[in-house]
Amino acid sequence: MTETIKANDPKNREEFLELIAKKADRPRHELANDPLVFINDLPETTLSGLDQDELLALAKTNSEAIHVDFKTVPVAKLSETLENFLTEKQIHSLLLPTFADEKWQKYGILDWRNALDLDKVYFWDAKRGRDNLVDADQSDAAIGFADYLLAESGTITAATVKEQGRGFHFLPTHYLAIIPKSKILPRMRQAIDRYDEAMKTGKLKTSNINFISGPSNSGDIEMVLIVGVHGPLDMTYVVVEDL
């Protein structure tokens, strides 16, 4: 521990950097004297000209390219869509978030949630600590709410919050994310800007933000696609078109 503290001491750091500069035969420089200047505005302007319908079409194309089952439904059909998902995947145990009833009612699925008839329905509860991970691991599926859908990559984003923790998204066998059409964004930059603003204003308090691009897969080195190694075997995105 003592060595770690010394290694992070400002005096030691300066001595180390001075030594590097001397050995490199070049003067020290500070970031303030060498500001970061972007050479273009591509992060902001890429896909910025697309309207919401065009973003939806692009999101569908790019999501399906990474093996996502992509659905678009009105609020009135959402509960039916979720019920069909449970039937098709033969779900016996389900993990749900613990957002307030108002959120479920907004999506028209409060009655559906309350009437679920499965062997086991788990609810992510921050007070239960690591027991949540056990529940998630034993769940056939999780149905949760995504914050945004990035059209460029088919990526959903979900901040870790007490109602829906990090393990919620990765441990169940099957995963379904509900996303309002209005929350489809061009790319990561726009999502980061929104999260940054939410955290600065105190609207969002989170330990991390999850960026999830389709089902878990491995095969970059082996050149053989293996799905479900580090997360769900499959993913379904349900975009609610009138929200």
User: pLDDT tens for residues 66-105?
Assistant: 999 999 999 999 999 999 999 999 999 999 999 999 999 9
Instruction: Give the SS3 label for residue 127.
Output: helix
Instruction: Give the SS3 label for residue 11.
Output: helix
pLDDT band (50, 70, 90) for residue 2 = very low
Which of the residue ranges 9-13, 114-118, 189-193, 235-239 would you say has the lowest mean pLDDT? 9-13
Q: What is the mean pLDDT of residues 171-195?
A: 96
pLDDT band (50, 70, 90) for residue 5 = very low
Structural domain contains residue 161: yes
CB 185 within 8 A of CB 150: yes
Structural domain contains residue 169: yes
Note the pTM of the prediction, 2 decimals. Answer: 0.82
Structural domain contains residue 3: no
Q: What are 124-166's pLDDT values in tens digits?
A: 998 998 999 999 999 999 999 999 999 999 999 999 999 999 9
Structural domain contains residue 36: no
Average pLDDT of the chain is 90
Q: Is it the case that residue 31 has pLDDT exceeding 80?
A: no
Q: Is it the case that residue 227 has pLDDT exceeding 90?
A: no
Structural domain contains residue 64: yes
Q: Is it the case that residue 1 has pLDDT exceeding 60?
A: no
Q: What is the CATH number of the domain that holds 80?
A: 3.40.50.10420
What percent of the chain has a predicted confidence (pLDDT) above 90? Answer: 68
The predicted pLDDT at position 220 comes to 64
The domain containing residue 108 runs over which residues? 51-240
Structural domain contains residue 150: yes
Beta bridge partners of 122: 95
Q: What is the mean pLDDT of residues 233-242?
A: 95
- Better-scored residue on pLDDT, 14 or 85: 85
pLDDT band (50, 70, 90) for residue 45 = confident
In the chain, where do the E strands start and end?
A: 68-73, 93-96, 120-123, 141-145, 148-150, 155-159, 174-180, 184-185, 209-212, 217-218, 226-227, 234-240
Structural domain contains residue 14: no
Among residues 157, 225, 152, the alpha carbon closest in space to that of 192 is found at 157
Q: Is it the case that residue 18 has pLDDT exceeding 80?
A: yes
Instruction: Give the SS3 label for residue 149.
Output: strand
Neighbours of 227 (CB within 10 A): 16
Neighbours of 141 (CB within 10 A): 24
Q: How many domains does the chain have?
A: 1
Q: What is the mean pLDDT of residues 38-51?
A: 86
Q: What is the mean pLDDT of residues 186-201?
A: 95
